Amino acid sequence: MAKKNAENNPAPAQQENDKTNKLEAFVADSTGQKLTTNHGVKINDDQNSLKAGDRGATLLEDFILREKITHFDHERIPERVVHARGSAAHGVFKVYEDMSELTRAAFLCDPGAETPVFVRFSTVAGSRGSTDLARDVRGFAVKFYTQEGNFDLVGNNMPVFFIQDAVKFPDLIHAVKPEPDNEMPQAASAHDTFWDFISQLPESAHMIMWAMSDRALPRSYRMMEGFGVHTFRFVNAEGVSNFVKFHWKPLLGVHAVAWDEAQNISGKDPDFHRRDLWDAIEAGAFPEWELGVQIVPEADEFKFEFDILDPTKIIPEELVPVQRIGKMTLNRNPDNFFAETEQVAFHVGHVVPGIDFTNDPLLQGRLFSYTDTQLIRLGGPNFHEIPINRPVVPVHNNQRDGYMRQTINRGKTSYGPNGIANQDPQQVKAADGGFVSYNERIDAKKIRARSRSFFDHFSQARLFFNSQSDPEKNHIIDALSFELGKVKAVEIRERMLAVLAQIDKGLAAEVAYGLGLHIPEIALEDLNNSIPADADRADYASENPEGNLAKSDALSMVGTVKDTIKTRKIAILAADGVDEKALSTVKTALLAGGAVVHIIAPKLGEIISKGDQKIVPDESFLTAASVLYDAVYVPGGANSVATLEAEANAVHFLNEAFKHCKAIAAGDEAIQVLESTYFHKKLPAEYSKETVLREGVIVSGDVKELTSTFIEMIALHRFWERENPRKIPA
């Protein structure tokens, strides 16, 4: 289906479908207001409790104190078991063209409609207080407030998962969470219990490749893909079903940071991803994704060499292309983090007519788990009445009462059928918009078993690894070497090496070398040690076919969008005596391209350019760090250059930027600053345009040429090929 052009700035939302207006009734603004209790009584003194004399005991009758302290004592709710640390934003979604041939979901059938959304991004393993830059899967959950009720597309930034059956989910999370005896390590999978579990669960092999790849270290939430993970159904008005996989494709491309860089960012700014999303929206640089779908007709359900209901498998885009059917734009930050981001309740079971489930055993388990989670976390069955969770359409049913009930239901009846109230609220026919589950024929015996079509655990893990560029493969090897290097039990390391050998012997050999171990000889059928030998159930012996597809370009980040510098953060290093004309020319061009530019100087206050102009820096070297920026520019000016050359923090800033493969530009006068760096002696003696775009470093006295080339370099994101042959201490 052809993609239609959409305006960058979304049209005003329709009044009756505007979640912002729906929330307005619940918004409180204290500007210019008088202080009151929770029950509206004006407070005369909020600085002193009521006492028996000015040095006497506090009196129990102080209802203002009791209300304030009691509310404070109960302010915190249980954090999410997983996805505890998150960040969110409001936005809108518009479909490009009518999809009614595939689904009767109204929000996907009207290109003129604008559907409000609320999107929450998150890490998975860490607590609320952990860092944004942990090596982890990222949650990508979208709540669509449609005219048929809420639809929640609850996914991740990786299209597969560790397990095939939801019954293993508690085990997975128990294994990856901090170890129960000492509550360490936080937000990290590099420890014994996780790899002990994973090494005995070959079905996790594919997901491990993703989790150890650069996908686990996104540059920002705005630059990562999202996936529905499971196979769902589209059902049209005639009841015809097609299988569907959901994708979110970021218009800024898919980009990552380096592992060493991620660790540094965690120390410098653990809120890096949260801040990035918030600042981009506040600046009007609204993040955008296109919604893509892979459609598989029911007749083709079994035509693949893998099972499309297996959540540890993808449908390669070479086999079923992704059709981009609409665009989501995030254009407003929450007004209150707790009320919106923390209290939003997503549920994979929140679907609308035209979207339905499949028999994916992981999906089926999630249908139970989400409601159960919200009951404990949000205090009871009325979590749907919290403003951020309310649909934009009226809610009518016979469910009543419970903790924190907010709806005041009129009438005598709360049951059905009823004659007293004329059967109200009444059921709705499918033709009038009522939800009807897909009429799938089921003829089977009850059994605790797994389909043999789920037994291939390695071919897609191999496909993922083979599809990576050389730098991306090196990052996976380094990640596995680091993670397994933190494992204390040698037998766990060896068992994991045997699993890796099933994926790629070269990969296993590289990791084994880093661990100082040999790859053990473990038979394929013996890998799944978690199944007791005397288990009275189906054989779960792993299979490892070669697979028909050797490589999939969509699995590598190399081919992602690299034609924009929008929202990239650029550091300009300057001191007294800087060439203000060069600085201004480059800065103006960068800003025109949509970049964010910060001038960094040895100190805050003002610097005086060589033309005696006053320039106010944004940061000093004390508060800034190269890991927080995407590229660096050093303008000329003799005094500025001399100061920076003698400034150890400036030299370190450049060395670290080079180490992390970022674009670096310098005026020809600034060459002496670069000569002070460790990496300068690693660079080629002679430069051409091709050399510059390969190495990512340009030095030029032609400001116009430097500017255009620098912008081109920033758009390329990183120069990963620089990593191994140009390794430097920083």
Q: Which residues are catalytic?
A: 83, 156
- DSSP run (H or E) holding 332: strand 323-332
What is the distance between the alpha carbons of residues 724 and 368, in angstroms, rounded to a whole number?
48
Element (H, E) at 499: helix 490-503
Give the C-alpha distances (Å, rounded to integers) separating 649 from 270, 302, 645, 704.
Answer: 21, 60, 9, 28
Reading the block at residue 710, the tokens are 């620098």
Q: Are 181 and 141 in contact (CB under 8 A)?
A: no
Residue position matching structure tokens 């510059």: 692
Task: List, in sequence order, every residue forming a beta bridge with 88; answer none if it has no partner.
Answer: 120
CA count, 13 A, side-chain hemisphere, 417: 2
Residues β-bridged to residue 615: 607
Distance separating the N- and C-terminal Cα atoms of the chain: 49
Q: Is 81 exposed, middle or buried (0-12, 13-18, 19+ CB in 10 A)?
A: middle
- As to burial, measured by CB atoms within 10 angstroms (0-12 exposed, 13-18 middle, 19+ buried), residue 162 is buried
Residue ranges of E strands in 25-161: 86-95, 115-123, 138-146, 149-156
List the alpha helices (DSSP H) in 574-647.
580-592, 638-646
Per DSSP, the three-state class of 701 is: coil
DSSP annotation of 340: I
Q: Which residues contact 560 (CB under 8 A, 6 or more apart)?
A: 253, 254, 255
Separation between Cα atoms, residue 300 and residue 288, nearest integer Å: 32
User: Which among 498, 489, 492 is positioned nearest to 518, based on CA atoms?
Assistant: 498
With H, G, I as helix, E, B as strand and everything else as coil, classify residue 280: helix
Query: Which helix (H) or strand (E) is 715 found in, with range?
Result: helix 703-715
**Cα–Cα dist 352/106, whole Å:** 9
3-state secondary structure of 712: helix
Cα-based distances in Å from 633 to 549, 569, 585, 716: 43, 11, 12, 16
Judge contact between 50 and 65, C-beta under 8 A. Answer: yes
> Could you give the CA distance from residue 231 to residue 221 in angstroms, rounded to a whole number?
24
Give me the phi and psi of 94, to 5 degrees please: -135, 130
Closest by CA to 16, choosing from 483, 486, 394, is 394
Distances (CA, A) of 484 to 189, 198, 464: 10, 11, 20
Q: Is 406 exposed, middle or buried (0-12, 13-18, 19+ CB in 10 A)?
A: exposed
Contacts of 397 by beta carbon, 8 Å cutoff, 6+ apart? 425
* Strand-pair category, 138-146 with 115-123: antiparallel
Q: Are 135 and 189 in contact (CB under 8 A)?
A: yes
Q: How many CB atoms lie within 10 A of CB 590?
A: 22
State both tokens at 204: 């996790």
| 3-state DSSP assignment of residue 348 | coil
Residue 675 tokens read as: 């000569």
